[in-house]
Structure 1
């Protein structure tokens, strides 16, 4: 029987079992960011699609996911987070099964877009349930540390899982695996997630929904196209200009409606704004690392698919320990304010070490220290910034705040990858030897990622209030 009591008074075992179920749901979303990438060559050979269709298998997911987040967050507040969560889980499983059974590239791309759509429903609802369930400060930091680390772990483990499934079974299992994950998550959500009040009497900000969705779509699309078409290509410039206009209209509209899609107070609050900046910049730096390091490991050092995934494991190991244990301990000892700048500084140091890679690099001395520092640093950011970005809000805004967190991470990752891919390509072109040029490009991208982390450290140190309001 479903428990309808307020989340804050759920018995302790139920709270932590619910967190486990929500973490599994988040893991499924994160896996699909990278699990398909290593399987793409096998899928392309099997289905026989052109290189031009290959990018849409990846960007179709990102476009749907990133552009629908703000609307989905408000829908979770309006229709009930449990209902939206279960709908997202079931829809994600169904579209994953369709993708696994795809016989053409069009079906596979359509399934990936469907996954992104249901991921956009699922992600804000899951994070909002964590926020409204864990209100005790003693538990809140640890809960967000566990939940937030799962996202980055899933992204890393997706590289290993994608290679393993493709090598041992088939590329199709990179899609089918979501059905296996979703079934227990749906059962747990139905049994454990508390029902929240439906607020269907409130009007939905249709202008805000349209301008936010289309604006974010244009932003993600434009930055995705920049990597292949170039920043000055008409399609790139047109998409980015459209995004700018639509997002300006969105901001103006939010000041003139009774129930805005995204109350601007969520963004202008110093503590919350600082946390969102940290999440945006850390995602940009981390996703850049996940993009270029596999190429360096496989093309330059000669690693296989599974070996490449194993090489990334220090990142999630350090991230979990940092997010679930070190972050909460530092917050208790020093207060929350210095934790995020410390984490960003550690990640900056890790990226700086990676920027010094060479064609004849060795894993333990040249890569391992940097990977550990990046994982530990991002773990501190995830645990503390996510908790800060969703704190001190009425229950009817929990989904909206959760959507802003997911949007910051998704857009930060998309922008970071697009911009630094162009930087890496430009740096590589200046070197005559192709192998040396590729490594120089990777190192340059890692150096810029270090600059992003350093910028985040300075901004959060300056912007985070010395004391969080009650």
Structure 2
């Protein structure tokens, strides 16, 4: 496919703008959580679900969104995702109850699940494999990575100068701008034939993830042996097993299991899930620690994320420049271990630690490591695959990010809450109990990212050629533009 350089640059801007907005909304709410709790009466568990409702809906329907981009057209699904995301953002900004906010967050996640894989599909079908695609993926990864950290800054500014409602409402004009640019820049591709989408599979996997997270969250208050807790886990196993069985029985599965025979795909997705399990929780815990223990207001907490945001950008750009010379595996393994070192450093926080002495250094280390790791991850997950699998591969990678993030947040938050509750019952101060819970979460996160580095070491030295990718099974090929 040949695209004029000016059009390519505009396509890159559109894809990165959409990805930035989608990833930003994972973390932008963190700084606003105290204000939302005060305004609408959220409980502590309810606050966690403000984050989890988005990530679970996002994760559960990403695969469906990836296939839809392949089958029904990348531009069409990009615009559909934008419309869903913008409408849900408007509802969230006008919500007057916790339930309506959670519903809007879930609807945002659904819109993001359609939008995000379309962005990567657009890039992989616009830029030829090689240096041009590496640079485009580097920019995409940098924007996605910095979106999470910038969420804290944006949230702080909006809450301080306007209100928590603007963390939703700010998306509306951005959606309109992005949609206008997309109509001008993006040409259409779609499959010649349109098999029925596997909506049953999407519902099963989403229900299974929600049940699993509900079980983890319930364990903190009801206990691991309660019927509510183990019943949720049993339901999760049944639904996820049903999903796996369904995928082997239908002609157009949501996830053709043969794609995991490509080692780069399976390793990249496992690595992404482990890194994201720590990454999402970090924004949540650091934001609450700065406000609840260090006494920062929303604006100060948001601005305190600036060095971390910059380190993600630096790491991503460094990684994209070195990728062709160093290769995927060294960058990914090195980035993961640097990130793990940052989390281990975070676990040394005390109630007396200042921002400079306890948060700045580990935050920069984690951000730099993430930036280095994210670019080769995006390339590994999509290299060597035929064009009609681009949406599926991007959907898988984004699903791994969101599934890992949702599960990691629920597990680490439960561990932190349990530790803080125990120390509070023993007479510890609120600051000491909260910090002890946070450091326990960071120690576990460090272990998870070390595991990510070990998994990443299983990548081959070079990406497998396209002929090693599994042949499509019962799937139409996408028409070229």
C-alpha distance after superposition, 1:17-37 (max 9, x if no partner): 211111111121122222233
Match of 2:51 in 1: 58
Q: Determine if the alignment matches structure 1 residue 454 to structure 2 residue 450.
A: yes
Match of 1:467 in 2: 462
Q: Determine if the alignment matches structure 1 residue 409 to structure 2 residue 401.
A: yes
Q: Determine if the alignment matches structure 1 residue 305 to structure 2 residue 281.
A: no
Contact preservation (8 Å) 1:142, 1:323:
no
C-alpha distance after superposition, 1:246-273 (max 9, x if no partner): 2223223323333321111222321111
Q: Determine if the alignment matches structure 1 residue 294 to structure 2 residue 290.
A: no
Shift of 1:311: 1.5
Match of 2:148 in 1: 155
Shift of 1:140: 2.0
Match of 2:256 in 1: 263
In the superposition, the TM-score normalised over structure 1's length comes to 0.91
Structure 1's 234 and 124: CA in aligned 2 closer, same or farther, altered over 3 A?
farther
In the superposition, the TM-score normalised over structure 2's length comes to 0.89
Q: Determine if the alignment matches structure 1 residue 280 to structure 2 residue 273.
A: yes
Shift of 1:80: 1.0
The equivalent position to 1:387 in structure 2, one of 362, 376, 379, is: 379
Listed as ranges, the matches of 1:371-386 within 5 Å are 371-386=363-378
More moved, 381-390 vs 289-298:
289-298
Shift of 1:328: 2.2
Structure 1's 238 and 76: CA in aligned 2 closer, same or farther, altered over 3 A?
farther
More moved, 166-175 vs 43-52:
43-52
Shift of 1:423: 2.3
Distance, in Å, in 1 between the alignment partners of 2:41 and 2:348 is 39
Shift of 1:65: 1.7
RMSD: 2.3
Instruction: Name structure 2 gaps, 5 residues minimum.
Output: 466-481
Match of 1:346 in 2: 338
Contact preservation (8 Å) 2:69, 2:190:
no
C-alpha distance after superposition, 1:87-143 (max 9, x if no partner): 111221122122222344443333222212211111111121122222331122222
Match of 1:5 in 2: none
Shift of 1:237: 2.6
Q: Determine if the alignment matches structure 1 residue 186 to structure 2 residue 182.
A: no
Match of 2:231 in 1: 238
Q: Determine if the alignment matches structure 1 residue 356 to structure 2 residue 348.
A: yes
Distance, in Å, in 1 between the alignment partners of 2:359 and 2:38 is 32
More moved, 376-385 vs 99-108:
99-108
- 3-state SS, counterpart of residue 337 of structure 1: helix
The equivalent position to 1:440 in structure 2, one of 406, 431, 436, is: 436
Distance, in Å, in 1 between the alignment partners of 2:176 and 2:199 is 33
Distance, in Å, in 1 between the alignment partners of 2:352 and 2:46 is 34
Contact preservation (8 Å) 1:59, 1:224:
no
Shift of 1:438: 2.2
Structure 1's 345 and 456: CA in aligned 2 closer, same or farther, altered over 3 A?
same
Structure 1's 438 and 101: CA in aligned 2 closer, same or farther, altered over 3 A?
closer
The equivalent position to 1:28 in structure 2, one of 8, 21, 28, is: 21
Instruction: Name structure 1 gaps, 5 residues minimum.
Output: 1-7
Listed as ranges, the matches of 1:81-230 within 5 Å are 81-205=74-198, 207-226=200-219, 230=223
Distance, in Å, in 2 between the alignment partners of 1:219 and 1:264 is 22
- 3-state SS, counterpart of residue 30 of structure 2: coil
Structure 1's 223 and 387: CA in aligned 2 closer, same or farther, altered over 3 A?
farther
Shift of 1:44: 4.6
Q: How many residues align?
A: 461
Contact preservation (8 Å) 2:273, 2:404:
yes
Structure 1's 106 and 419: CA in aligned 2 closer, same or farther, altered over 3 A?
closer
Shift of 1:430: 5.2
